[in-house]
Structures are given as structure tokens and as C-alpha cells.
């Protein structure tokens, strides 16, 4: 019996060591707790977002060897915490952030109101709604204007209602924001995401591609933030396991859909005029994130949330010029046309 217990303990220690090496930092819930609850979906989702964070950070660091990620583990007094990994002022990336958060507590009234406005019927007990939310979120702003900005986010949400029943849903997506249009890159990006969706249902890519085009819309400008990708929210069917497997496929697609594009263009030459256009496009990125992005709004409405992590998506530098309009038939005008009229990239 003792020999068996010793072998089991040694195996646990080996597993723990392996997990520590796989991740950027120890998980928020702790390795032992995750192992104890390893069959529960919440634990499997936390492991997935930790792995996704580590895979993306290592892929980015390999392309920018002179720079390194600052790894910042933080705690939230209301419950949970997170791990922020941020690289700044590299040779390839001006700012690249890959964040994980696992938070729990009571939903604020403002956050509950935002959810009810999306059709959620949330029955609070004494005005209180216990919740658990976790996700991985990344925004990558390269230095070179010929390398596009990329964003992805995959998350899981659970709320306990007054009668003890739990509502749950997943959300997420991956999208690309180029400064200049490269059709070959756009096709590669969208095809990789389509392949991830097609493993589960051929209807998913067209549905979530349209959702992405509609969601990342800067209403006051009449243009999209970028050339899209996929986006979905409030996903709670057909079953928890099937949705989790779909989200896992999407998360596994983030490195192959983006890293080849960075490798291809990170050493391209560029002019001061092209850099200026990149700065102006980043201004649009900031406008969308601060005015419309649901995740940013939810984070700012959640008590005890970490503002530095929420606003990690903002670029290190951006620019706003009064009444700037690119010349007709220019490369700058070409990308604007696509942002105003989204294209089908895979057919």
C-alpha cells in the first residue's frame, strides 16, 4: 500500500512539474485543485486557456528574440485573479499582450443589466448573482505596418441563479486588423479559422464570420475595425462538451492562422508615410475598443477588476489627424474599401 501511495505521489509531482513547464506561471486555481477537479469543465477550460497563453507567448517570443514577456500574476480580492504576459518595445512587436483571468464573486448590478439587455433572464437571490468567468485574451500590435494587428479571446461564463440552477455560455473569436491589404494573408487567415469551424459544423464559419463583421463595426465611422475572422457569444448549445470542443479547436487555430503572416512580413521595408497610416489605423482600433467592445465594458463594470489588464488591448502609440483622407486608388484607400464592404475570403 505504501509503495503504491509513494508511486502515486511521485507521479503527481512529475505531472505538476510538467504542467509548470508548460505554462507561463502557476494557474490561478492552483495545480492541485485543477487536478482534483480535472473532469469538471471549469478546470478543463482553465487548463485550455493556460495552454493557449503559453503557446502564443512562446510563438511570439521566438520571432522577437531580443525581447521578453513580463509575466505578472495578480489576485482579485473579490475572488480569483489572472496572469498578464506583456511584451513591449521589441524589434518585431511594439506591444503584445496575452492575458488569462479566472475570476469569481457577485455580479455587479451594471454588469447584470448589460447581460439582461442581451436577453439573459437572470433571477437574483436577495439581489445577488454569484458568477465565475474565465478566459484568455490577446492583442498583438507589430512595429512593421505590413504585419497586421491580431486579436483573439475565448471565454467561459457561469452564473448561479436564486433557485440554484446554473446558466453557462461560451464566447470568443479571432480577428485580423491589417494596415495594408494583402489578399493572400487574408485568405490564409480565414481558411485556417474555417477549417477549425468545419471540424464541428459547416454552418459555423459563415455564421460566425458574419457575426464578426457585424460586431467589429465602428458605427460613427461606417467601417469595420479590420478584415474580420470569427466571433460568437452566449453559446450554450448543443451541449457543454460539444461547445467546449469547438472552442478548443478555435483556440488551437490562433498560432497557425497568424504566426506565418508575421514571419512573412516582419522584415519588409516600409516608409515613414506607411508608418503614419499604421498610426492612424490604430486610432480607429482605440475608438472601437473604448466605445463598443463588450469585454472592455464588462471589465470596467466589474468591481475589483484590473484596469491595466483590461486596457492591455490599447496600442503603445496611435495618432488622430483632423480630416485625414487618403488619395483615391491608393493602397490606403484599398483597405478602407474592404473595411466598408466586407469580403468573402474563402470562396
**What residues act catalytically?**
151
Residue 80 zone, left/alpha/beta (φ > 0; ψ -120 to 50; rest): left
Q: Which sign does the torsion angle of CA 231, 237, 241, 242 carry?
A: negative
- Residue 145: which residues within 8 A CB-CB, separation 6 or more? 179, 180, 270, 274, 275, 277, 278
DSSP string, 122-156: ---BTTB-EEEEEEEEEEEEESSTTSPEEEEEEEE
- Residue 187: which residues within 8 A CB-CB, separation 6 or more? 345, 346
Beta strand residue intervals within 143-273, DSSP E: 149-160, 166-177, 217-218, 223-224, 228-235
Contact 66, 150 (CB under 8 A): no
Cβ neighbours around 260 below 10 Å, total: 14
Using CA atoms, how far residue 135 sits from 145, 170, 235, 248, 283, in Å, is 29, 9, 14, 12, 26
- Residue 195: which residues within 8 A CB-CB, separation 6 or more? 253
Cell numbers 511584451: residue: 87
Amino acid at each position: 500500500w505504501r509503495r503504491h501511495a509513494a508511486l502515486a505521489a511521485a507521479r503527481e509531482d512529475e505531472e505538476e512539474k510538467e504542467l509548470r513547464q508548460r505554462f507561463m506561471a502557476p494557474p490561478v486555481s492552483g495545480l492541485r485543485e485543477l487536478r482534483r477537479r480535472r473532469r469538471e469543465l471549469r478546470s478543463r477550460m482553465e487548463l485550455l486557456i493556460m495552454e493557449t497563453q503559453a503557446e502564443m507567448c512562446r510563438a511570439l517570443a521566438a520571432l522577437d528574440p531580443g525581447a521578453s514577456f513580463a509575466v505578472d500574476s495578480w489576485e482579485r480580492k473579490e475572488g480569483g485573479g489572472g496572469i498578464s504576459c506583456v511584451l513591449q518595445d521589441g524589434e518585431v512587436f511594439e506591444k503584445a499582450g496575452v492575458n488569462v483571468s479566472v475570476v469569481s464573486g457577485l455580479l455587479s448590478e451594471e454588469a447584470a443589466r448589460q447581460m439582461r439587455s442581451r436577453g439573459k433572464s437572470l433571477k437574483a437571490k436577495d439581489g445577488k448573482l454569484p458568477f465565475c468567468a474565465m478566459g484568455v485574451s490577446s492583442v498583438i500590435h507589430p512595429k512593421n505596418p505590413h504585419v497586421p494587428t491580431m486579436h483573439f479571446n475565448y471565454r467561459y461564463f457561469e452564473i448561479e441563479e436564486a433557485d440554484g440552477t446554473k446558466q453557462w455560455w461560451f464566447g470568443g473569436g479571432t480577428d485580423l486588423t491589417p494596415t495594408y491589404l494583402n489578399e493572400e494573408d487574408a485568405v490564409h487567415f480565414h481558411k485556417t479559422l474555417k477549417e477549425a469551424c468545419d471540424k464541428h459544423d459547416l454552418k459555423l464559419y459563415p455564421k460566425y464570420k458574419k457575426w464578426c463583421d457585424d460586431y467589429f463595426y465602428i458605427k460613427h465611422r461606417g467601417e469595420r475595425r479590420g478584415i474580420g475572422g470569427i466571433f460568437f457569444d452566449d453559446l450554450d448549445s448543443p451541449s457543454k462538451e460539444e461547445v467546449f470542443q469547438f472552442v478548443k479547436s478555435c483556440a488551437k487555430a490562433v498560432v497557425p492562422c497568424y504566426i506565418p503572416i508575421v514571419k512573412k512580413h516582419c522584415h519588409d521595408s516600409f516608409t515613414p508615410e506607411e508608418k503614419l497610416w499604421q498610426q492612424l489605423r490604430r486610432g480607429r482600433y482605440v475608438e472601437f475598443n473604448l466605445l463598443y467592445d463588450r469585454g472592455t465594458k464588462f471589465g470596467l463594470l466589474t468591481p475589483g477588476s484590473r484596469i491595466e489588464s483590461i486596457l492591455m488591448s490599447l496600442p503603445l502609440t496611435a495618432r488622430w489627424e483632423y480630416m485625414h483622407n487618403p488619395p483615391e486608388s491608393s493602397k490606403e484607400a484599398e483597405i478602407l474599401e474592404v473595411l466598408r464592404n466586407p469580403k468573402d475570403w474563402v470562396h
